Chain A
Amino acid sequence: MNVALGQLRGALIEAWLALRTRRRRALIAATGVALSAAMLSCAVVITDGLGGGFPRAVKAADLGDLIVRFKPQPASQVVRRIAALPDLSGYALRTEVTDATFAYRGHSTTSGVAEVVGSGRRQGYAIVAGHNLRGSGHEVLIEQGLATAWHIKLGDTIYVRYLAPERVVGFAEGPDDVGYPLAAPRIYLSRAAIDAQLGRHSDPEVNFAEIWLRNPRYLNEVLVQARDESFGLQDLQFATRSGVRVLIHEAAGIVIDLLVALSVIALATAAVMLASSSKAEVQRRLRAIGIRRAVGASRSHVTLTQAVEAMIVTVPAATLGTFVGWVATYGPGDRLLALLNEPGPGSALALPLLASWLASVAIPVAGAAWPAWTAGGRAVISLLRGADVKRRRRSSRSWPRRMRGHGDGGGSLTGLGARFVAARPARLVATSTMLACSTAFILLMIALAATLTSLETDPQELGKHYELTATLPPSYASRVAQIPGVQAAEPRYELHAADGYALGEIVDVVAYPRDHTLFEAPPLASGRRLRGNDQAEVGVGLADALGLAPGSRLLLALPSGQELRLRVSGTVSSLDEEGLVAYVPAAALLAADPSAPSQIAVLLKPGASQAAVSAALTRLGAAPQTAAGAVERGAPLVAVLKTILRAVAIVDGLVCIYALTQACALTVQERRRTIAVLRACGAGAGAVRRLLLGAVLALVAPAALIGVLLELLLLGPALSHLAASYATLQLRANALEILATVLGLALAGILTIWWVARSAVRESVVTGLAS
Chain B
Amino acid sequence: MSARRPESDGAGAPMRRLTRRQAIGGAVLGAATVLGATSLTGCGSSGRSPHPDGSTLYSTWIDPLGDGQLQVGPGEPLIDRVALGPRQRLTGELARIAHLTDAHVLDASSPARVPFLARLGPPVQSTFRPQEALTTHVLNGAVNAIAATDPELVIQGGDLIDNDQNNELENALTLLRGGLVHPGSGHDGYYGVQSAFDPDPLYYRPDIDAPRHPGMLTEAVHPFQSAGLRAAWLPVLGDHDTLVAGELAPTELTRALAVGNRALWQLPTNLTLPAGLRLNPSGSPDGPPDPEFVSEFLRQALAGPTVLVPPDSRRYELSFGEATTRLWSGADAARQPGLAAPSTTPGEQLDYVRDLGESVRVIVLDIVRRDGGSGGLVTAQQPGWLAEQIADAGRRWVLVVSHQPLLDATGGELILAVLDRSPRVIAALAGHIHRNQILPRPTSAGGYWLINTASLIDFPQQARALRLFATAGGGVALQTWMLDHVDRGRLGTFSRELSYLDAQGGRPMGFRGTGQDRNVTLYRRSVS
A218-B69, A500-B266, A565-B199 in contact; A224/B119 too (CB < 8 A)?
no
Let me know if A557 and B503 touch, CB within 8 A: no
Determine the distance from Cα of A87 to Cα of B69 in the docked complex, in whole angstroms. 8
Q: From residue A359, how far is it (CB to closest CB) to chain B in Å?
A: 39
8 Å CB contact of A84 from B120, B130, B201, B508 = B508
Residues of A within 8 A of B204 (CB): 224, 228
Q: Does B269 sit at the interface, judged by CB under 8 A? A: yes
A227-B202, A500-B200 in contact; A84/B209 too (CB < 8 A)?
no
Q: Does B392 sit at the interface, judged by CB under 8 A? A: no
Determine the distance from Cα of A668 to Cα of B145 in the docked complex, in whole angstroms. 93
Let me know if B65 and A214 touch, CB within 8 A: yes
Q: Does B500 sit at the interface, judged by CB under 8 A? A: yes
Let me know if A555 and B199 touch, CB within 8 A: yes
Let me know if B502 and A87 touch, CB within 8 A: no
8 Å CB contact of B501 from A89, A213, A221, A230 = A221
Residues of B within 8 A of A548 (CB): 199, 201
Q: Does A52 sit at the interface, judged by CB under 8 A? A: no
Let me know if B503 and A502 touch, CB within 8 A: no
* Prevailing SS type, chain B contact patch: loop
Let me know if A214 and B199 touch, CB within 8 A: no
8 Å CB contact of B504 from A84, A218, A565 = A84
Q: Does A626 sit at the interface, judged by CB under 8 A? A: no
Residue of A nearest to B195 (CB): A553
Contact with B along A546-583 (1 / 0, CB 8 A): 11110111110100000101010000000000000000
Residues of B within 8 A of A547 (CB): 201, 208-209
Residues of B within 8 A of A616 (CB): none
Residue of B nearest to A217 (CB): B67
Let me know if A232 and B502 touch, CB within 8 A: no
Residues of A within 8 A of B500 (CB): 86
Q: From residue B404, how far is it (CB to closest CB) to chain A in Å?
A: 25
Let me know if A214 and B266 touch, CB within 8 A: no
Q: Does B305 sit at the interface, judged by CB under 8 A? A: yes
Let me know if A501 and B202 touch, CB within 8 A: yes
Let me know if A83 and B508 touch, CB within 8 A: yes
Q: Does A220 sit at the interface, judged by CB under 8 A? A: yes
Q: From residue A3, how far is it (CB to closest CB) to chain B in Å?
A: 55
Residue of A nearest to B125 (CB): A231
8 Å CB contact of B68 from A221, A500, A501, A551 = A221
Residue of A nearest to B507 (CB): A86
8 Å CB contact of A221 from B121, B198, B211, B508 = B211
Q: Quick one: which of A81, A86, A555 has the most chain B CB within 10 A?
A: A86
Q: Does A229 sit at the interface, judged by CB under 8 A? A: yes
Residues of A within 8 A of B12 (CB): none
Determine the distance from Cα of A567 to Cα of B197 in the docked complex, in whole angstroms. 8
Q: Does B118 sit at the interface, judged by CB under 8 A? A: yes
Q: Does B1 sit at the interface, judged by CB under 8 A? A: no
Determine the distance from Cα of A573 to Cα of B210 in the docked complex, in whole angstroms. 22
Q: Quick one: which of B266, B500, B508 has the most chain A CB within 10 A?
A: B508
A224-B204, A553-B197, A563-B305 in contact; A229/B67 too (CB < 8 A)?
no
Determine the distance from Cα of A729 to Cα of B200 in the docked complex, in whole angstroms. 34
8 Å CB contact of B200 from A217, A231, A555 = A555
Q: From residue B173, how far is it (CB to closest CB) to chain A in Å?
A: 32
8 Å CB contact of B202 from A85, A228, A567 = A228
A230-B202, A232-B121, A547-B209 in contact; A87/B503 too (CB < 8 A)?
no
8 Å CB contact of A232 from B120, B210, B503 = B120
Number of A residues with CB within 8 Å of any CB on chain B: 42
Residues of B within 8 A of A567 (CB): 197
Contact with A along B326-344 (1 / 0, CB 8 A): 0000000000000000000
Q: Which of A272-289 contact B (CB under 8 A)?
A: none
Let me know if B67 and A214 touch, CB within 8 A: yes
Q: Does B267 sit at the interface, judged by CB under 8 A? A: yes
Q: Which of B125-144 contact A (CB under 8 A)?
A: 130
Q: Does B66 sit at the interface, judged by CB under 8 A? A: yes
Let me know if A552 and B68 touch, CB within 8 A: no
Q: Does B205 sit at the interface, judged by CB under 8 A? A: yes
Residues of B within 8 A of A220 (CB): 209-211
Q: Does B196 sit at the interface, judged by CB under 8 A? A: yes
Q: Which of A224-277 contact B (CB under 8 A)?
A: 224-232
Contact with B along A89-128 (1 / 0, CB 8 A): 1000000000000000000000000000000000000000
Let me know if B504 and A228 touch, CB within 8 A: yes
Let me know if A86 and B210 touch, CB within 8 A: no
Residues of A within 8 A of B211 (CB): 220-221
Residues of A within 8 A of B196 (CB): 551-553
8 Å CB contact of A87 from B67, B200, B202, B305 = B67
Q: From residue B415, how far is it (CB to closest CB) to chain A in Å?
A: 33
Determine the distance from Cα of A231 to Cα of B198 in the docked complex, in whole angstroms. 18
Q: Does A347 sit at the interface, judged by CB under 8 A? A: no
Q: From residue B13, how far is it (CB to closest CB) to chain A in Å?
A: 27
Q: From residue A51, how far is it (CB to closest CB) to chain B in Å?
A: 29
Let me know if A224 and B210 touch, CB within 8 A: yes
A229-B503, A547-B208 in contact; A553/B305 too (CB < 8 A)?
no
Determine the distance from Cα of A503 to Cα of B201 in the docked complex, in whole angstroms. 9
A221-B211, A547-B208 in contact; A86/B201 too (CB < 8 A)?
no
Contact with B along A662-692 (1 / 0, CB 8 A): 0000000000000000000000000000000
Q: From residue A478, how far is it (CB to closest CB) to chain B in Å?
A: 35
Residue of B nearest to A85 (CB): B503
Residue of A nearest to B505 (CB): A84
Residues of B within 8 A of A546 (CB): 199, 201
Q: From residue B435, how far is it (CB to closest CB) to chain A in Å?
A: 15
Q: Does A222 sit at the interface, judged by CB under 8 A? A: yes
8 Å CB contact of B199 from A227, A229, A553 = A553
Let me know if A501 and B120 touch, CB within 8 A: no
A86-B68, A231-B120 in contact; A549/B210 too (CB < 8 A)?
no
Residues of A within 8 A of B118 (CB): 228, 231
Let me know if B199 and A225 touch, CB within 8 A: no
Residues of B within 8 A of A553 (CB): 196-199
Residues of A within 8 A of B120 (CB): 231-232
Determine the distance from Cα of A580 to Cα of B370 in the docked complex, in whole angstroms. 50
A221-B501, A557-B269 in contact; A501/B121 too (CB < 8 A)?
no
Residues of B within 8 A of A223 (CB): 210
8 Å CB contact of A225 from B66, B69, B267, B503 = B503
Q: From residue A669, how far is it (CB to closest CB) to chain B in Å?
A: 65
Q: Does A21 sit at the interface, judged by CB under 8 A? A: no
8 Å CB contact of A549 from B69, B208, B266, B269 = B208
Q: Which of B183-223 contact A (CB under 8 A)?
A: 196-202, 204-205, 207-211
Let me know if A226 and B503 touch, CB within 8 A: yes
Residue of B nearest to A213 (CB): B67
Q: Does A215 sit at the interface, judged by CB under 8 A? A: yes
A83-B508, A547-B201 in contact; A224/B209 too (CB < 8 A)?
yes
Residue of B nearest to A223 (CB): B210
Residues of A within 8 A of B130 (CB): 224, 228
Q: From residue B128, how far is it (CB to closest CB) to chain A in Å?
A: 8
Residues of B within 8 A of A552 (CB): 196-197, 199, 205, 208
Q: Which of A428-459 contact B (CB under 8 A)?
A: none
Determine the distance from Cα of A554 to Cα of B200 in the docked complex, in whole angstroms. 8
21 contacts between A and B (CB under 8 A): A86-B500, A86-B501, A87-B67, A89-B66, A215-B69, A220-B210, A223-B210, A224-B130, A227-B202, A228-B130, A229-B504, A231-B118, A231-B121, A500-B266, A501-B266, A502-B119, A547-B209, A552-B197, A552-B208, A555-B200, A563-B305
User: Using a CB–CB distance below 8 Å, which chain B residues touch chain A?
Assistant: 65-69, 118-121, 130, 196-202, 204-205, 207-211, 266-267, 269, 305, 500-504, 507-508
**New A-B contacts (7) at CB < 8 Å, excluding given A89-B66, A228-B204, A547-B208:** A84-B508, A214-B65, A217-B67, A218-B69, A231-B118, A232-B120, A500-B266
User: Using a CB–CB distance below 8 Å, which chain A residues touch chain B?
Assistant: 81, 83-87, 89, 213-215, 217-218, 220-232, 500-503, 546-549, 551-555, 557, 563, 565, 567
5 pairs of A and B residues whose beta carbons are closest in the complex:
A86-B68, A553-B199, A220-B210, A84-B508, A215-B67
